[in-house]
Chain A
Amino acid sequence: MTKIGLEIHLQLNTLSKVFCSCSTKQVETPNSNVCEICCGFPGSKPVLNKEAFEKALKIALALDCKINRVTFFSRKGYFYPDLPKNFQITQYESPIGINGKFRGIRIRRVHLEEDPGALVHKGSYCLVDYNRSGIPLVEIVTEPDFKTAKEAREFLRELITDLSYLDVYDKKSDFGLKADLNISTTGAKVEIKNVNGLKDIEDALTYEEERQSREVPKNSETRGWNAERRITVLQRTKESEDDYGYITETDLPVIEVSDKLLKVIKDSIPELSKEKLTRFTSQYKLSDKDAKVLSNNKRLSELFEKVAKQVDPEIAAKWIIRDLVNQLNYHKKTLDQANIKPEYMIDLLKLFEGKNITDNTTKQVMIKLIKEKNFSPKEYIEKNNLIMQSSNSKIEEWCEQAVKDCPQAVEDYKNGNEKSLNFVVGKVMQLSNKTANPDIVRKILVKLIRK
Chain B
Amino acid sequence: MKAKEYVEKVKSREISAVKTTKGILNEIKKINGTYSFFNAISENLALELAERIDKNPKGKLAGLPISIKDDLCVKGVETTCSSNILKGYRPPFNATLVNNLIREGAVIIGKTNQDAFGFGSFNVNTDMGIPKNPVAFCGVSGVSPTYGLVSRYGLIDYANSLDKLGPIAKYVEDLELVLDVIKGYDFKDSTSLKQDIIKEKEVKKVGLIKETLDVDPKIKDIILKKLDEMNVEYEKVLLPKTSKYALPSYYIIAMAEASTNLAKYCGMRYGQEGKVNLPFNESFSEVRTKNFNKEVKRRIILGTFTRMAGYRDAFYLKAMKVRTLVIEEYKDLFKKYDLLVSPTMPIVAPKLSEVNKLKPRDHYMMDVMTVGPNLAGIPHMSVNAGFYDKLPVGIMFTANHLNEKRLFQVGKGL
Contacts and interface: CB of A to CB of B under 8 A. Distances in A.
A180 B307 CA distance: 25
Contacts of A245: 259-260, 304, 307-309, 312
B263 A43 contact: no
A337 B263 CA distance: 45
A221 B312 CA distance: 25
Contact of B266 (A45, A86, A247, A252): A86
Contact of B188 (A47, A81, A243): A47
A87 B270 contact: no
Contact of B263 (A45, A77, A252): A77
B61 interface: no
A46 interface: yes
B390 interface: no
Contact of A43 (B72, B259, B276): B72
Interface string B141-174: 0000000000011111100110000000000000
B324 interface: no
B153 A247 contact: no
A43 B264 contact: no
Interface in A225-284: 241, 243, 245-248, 250-253
Given A47-B187, A79-B280, A251-B190, A246 B307 contact: yes
Nearest to B155: A43
Contact of A42 (B156, B280, B309): B156
B189 A39 contact: no
A36 B92 contact: yes
B181 interface: no
A48 interface: yes
Interface string A30-51: 0000001001111111111000
B223 to A, nearest CB: 33
B191 interface: yes
Contacts of B264: 40, 42, 84-87
A46 B190 contact: yes
B190 A79 contact: no
Contact of B190 (A43, A80, A252): A252
Contacts of A75: 260
Contacts of B72: 43
Given A43-B153, A47-B187, A85-B263, A247 B307 contact: yes
A86 B263 CA distance: 6
Contacts of B307: 77, 245-247
Contacts of A87: 260, 263-264
Main secondary structure of the interface of A (DSSP, over half): loop
A48 B189 CA distance: 10
Contacts of A79: 263, 266, 280-281, 284
Contacts, number: 102
B153 A243 contact: no
- For A39, A75, A80, the residue with the greatest tally of chain B CB atoms inside 10 Å of its CB is A75
B91 A81 contact: no
Contacts of B161: 248, 250
Given A81-B268, A241-B309, A248-B320, A45 B260 contact: no
A43 B73 CA distance: 7
A47 B96 CA distance: 14
B207 to A, nearest CB: 29
Nearest to B162: A250
B269 interface: yes
A42 B89 contact: yes
Given A45-B153, A77-B260, A87-B260, A251 B191 contact: yes
B316 interface: yes
A81 B92 CA distance: 21
A250 to B, nearest CB: 4
Contact of A41 (B81, B92, B152): B92
B86 interface: yes
B176 interface: no
A47 B304 CA distance: 25
B190 A253 contact: yes
B36 to A, nearest CB: 22
Given A45-B189, A81-B280, A251-B191, 10 more contacts: A36-B93, A41-B269, A42-B270, A43-B95, A43-B155, A45-B152, A79-B284, A85-B263, A87-B263, A248-B320
28 contacts: A36-B91, A40-B264, A41-B93, A42-B81, A42-B89, A43-B73, A43-B79, A43-B154, A44-B153, A45-B152, A45-B189, A79-B280, A79-B281, A81-B268, A84-B264, A85-B264, A87-B260, A87-B263, A126-B278, A243-B308, A245-B259, A245-B260, A245-B312, A247-B256, A247-B307, A247-B316, A250-B160, A251-B191
Interface of B: 72-73, 79, 81, 86, 89, 91-93, 95, 152-157, 160-161, 187-191, 256-257, 259-260, 263-266, 268-270, 276, 278, 280-281, 284, 304, 307-309, 312, 316, 320
The 10 closest A-B pairs by CB, nearest first: A250-B161, A86-B263, A245-B307, A43-B73, A42-B156, A43-B154, A250-B160, A85-B264, A43-B156, A243-B309
Interface of A: 36, 39-48, 75, 77, 79-81, 84-87, 126, 241, 243, 245-248, 250-253
